[in-house]
Amino acid sequence: MAAPSALEQAAEGGSIQRSRAPGGLTLRAFLRNRRTMSGLGIVVLLGLFCFAGPLVYHSQLVIVNLNIINEPPGPGHPLGTDEYGFDVLARLMQGGQSSLELGFAVGIAGTVLGLLYGAISGVLGGIWDAVLMRIVDSLLAVPTLLLLIIVSSMFSLNLFVIIVILSVLSWPSVARLVRGQVLELRTREFAQASTGMGATKWWILVKHMIPNTLGICVVTATFGIADAIYALSVLSFLDIGPPPPFADWGTLLTNGVNNLFNGYWWQVYPPMIALILVVLAFRQIGDAMNDLASGGQTGRIYVRRRRRMGFLQISTQFDLRS
């Protein structure tokens, strides 16, 4: 592909660099990249485990059986049982469904909303920026715990309600981050050059700002997914989560941790490992997506080796195409 040679040229301190919109982030590039595929592979495996697993591994998760609570791994229960007598492996699958759905939905929704809001605010500038950011400040200042308690006592909390609430709570910080980034980008020459050439604000927004903030956004989305999954466990730690025996990895982990000193390690490690795996996998994907989205210059400060490096930002002196 053309990218490597442009890279190498650029690495030499070449002259005019061409700006590339995230053209590097094509489906084909995604599929051929080792890191995205390995990250995606983990996510797919986990997804299969959670959604297809129960079709293969049958265990009942409805009737509480106090006679077999808290049993260590053994025949019939490869990962032991929890405090309700449910098989831990089956709970892990059931929990994973909720966690994956939640993490994905909230992480993406929150980031997209925040990205749009923040980018628009940054580009508009002036009074509009002030108003929009003050609204963000207000949302950040509202006591979220209070909101959660009120909502939990008015509606019975199920997964959908929680997704909505967490998305609403997560976009303001993204918006601030993106807006900060946009403010900085606006001062760059390419943006000023574009304006000079008569491009409207919206054009700049779509063509330059949003693509160039993808770096921050991808990092944010990664954290967002981790945060969302984690937030549910905090909700259950504070006892305003969905009623038992609802399962998601975070809740399973919370309940397990309470038993840590009792020695029920099989209730703690499986959900913890699953949680960490999924977060790391998303991070892997996100990071690699960044690299692809660049398709431009290197990120190393000294040019000793020529490796295919990704970076996040496409900043050029002149953008002849805009």
Partner 1 sequence: MTWYIVRRLGQALAVVVGVMVLTFILLHIEPGNTAKAVLGLKATPARIAIFDHTYGLNKPLYQQFVIYVDQLFHGNLGISYQLQQPVTTLIAQRLPRDAVLLGLSTVLALIVGIPTGIYQAVNHNQFADDALAGTWFTLYSAPDFLEAFLLIALLCVQFHVFYATFSGGITSVGGLLADWRALVLPVLVLSINSVAGFSQYTRTQAIQSLASDYVRTARAKGLSRRLVLNRHVLRNSLLPVITIVGLSFPDIVAGALIAESIFNFPGMGLLFWQSALEHDYPVMLGATLVIGVATVIGSLAADLAYGVLDPRIRYGSS
Partner 2 sequence: MRRSPRLAAAAAILALATVVAACSGTSSKIGSGTPKITGKPEKGGTVTIAEVGASPNFIFPYAPSTNSNGYNVNLTQGLWPFLVYSGDGGKAIVNPQESLFSSLKYSDNNSVITIVLKPWDWSDGTPITSRDFTFVYNLLKYNYENWIDYTQGLFPVDVKKVLTPNAHTVVLDLTRSYNPTFYTDDVLSTIALIPQHAWDKESPSGKVGNYDETKAGAKAVYAFLQKQGGIMSTFATNPLWKVVDGPWTLQTFNSSGYYAYVPNKGYSGPDKPILSKVIQTPFTSDTAEMNTLRSGTSIDLGNLPLNDVNQAGELEAEGYTVAALPVAGVAEMVPNLYNPVNGPLLRQLYVRQVLEYLVDRPQIVKKVYAGYADPGNGPIPVDYGQQWDSPQEKAGGPYPYSVSKAKALLQSHGWSVVPNGTDTCQKPGTGAGECGAGITKGEKMQFQLLYTSGIASFDQQNAAIQSTEAQAGVKIVLKPEPFNTIVATTAYCNAKVHPVATCSWQLQDYGYNPYFLDPSGAGQFNTDGYGNYGGYSSAKENQLIDATEYSSSSSAFFAYEDYTAEQLPYLWLPNSSNLFVFKKNLAGVTPWNPFSGTLNPEVWYYTKPGS
Distances (CA, A) of 32 to 24, 29, 279, 292: 12, 5, 22, 11
Please name the amino acid found at residue 195.
Answer: T
CB 208 within 8 A of CB 194: yes
Sequence-ordered strand ranges (E) for the chain? none
Q: What is d(CA 166, CA 240) in angstroms, rounded to the nearest whole number?
A: 14
Among 301, 304, 320, 321, binds partner 1 (CB under 8 A): 301
Among the listed ranges 51-59, 188-196, 255-263, 314-322, the one in contact with partner 2 (CB under 8 A) is 255-263
Q: Does 301 bind partner 2 (CB under 8 A)?
A: no
Judged by beta carbon distances under 5 to 8 A according to partner kind, the member of partner 2, partner 1, none in contact with residue 84 is partner 2
Quickly tell me which residue has 């084909």 as its tokens.
28
Q: What is d(CA 42, CA 114) in angstroms, rounded to the nearest whole number?
A: 27
Q: Does 87 bind partner 2 (CB under 8 A)?
A: no
Among the listed ranges 25-33, 44-52, 156-164, 169-177, the one in contact with partner 1 (CB under 8 A) is 169-177
The dihedrals phi and psi of 213, each to the nearest 5 degrees, come to: -95, 0
Which residue number, 54 or 180, has a Cβ lying nearer to partner 1?
Answer: 180
Judged by beta carbon distances under 5 to 8 A according to partner kind, the member of partner 2, partner 1, none in contact with residue 244 is partner 2
Q: Does 283 bind partner 1 (CB under 8 A)?
A: yes
CB half-sphere exposure, 322, CA atoms < 13 A: 30
DSSP summary character for residue 234: H
Which residue number, 261 or 302, has a Cβ lying nearer to partner 2?
Answer: 261
Q: Which of 174, 218, 213, 227 is nearest to 36 (CA)?
A: 218
CB 117 within 8 A of CB 105: no
- Nearest approach in angstroms of CB 242 to partner 1 is 17
Site for partner 2 in 5-64 (CB under 8 A): 34-35, 38, 62-64
Q: Which positions touch partner 1 (CB under 8 A)?
A: 13, 124-126, 130, 133-134, 137-138, 140-143, 145-147, 149-150, 153-154, 173, 176-177, 180-181, 183-184, 187, 215-216, 219, 223, 226, 229-230, 233-234, 237-238, 250, 253-254, 257, 260-261, 268, 272, 275-276, 279-280, 283, 287, 290-291, 296-302, 307, 309-313, 315, 317
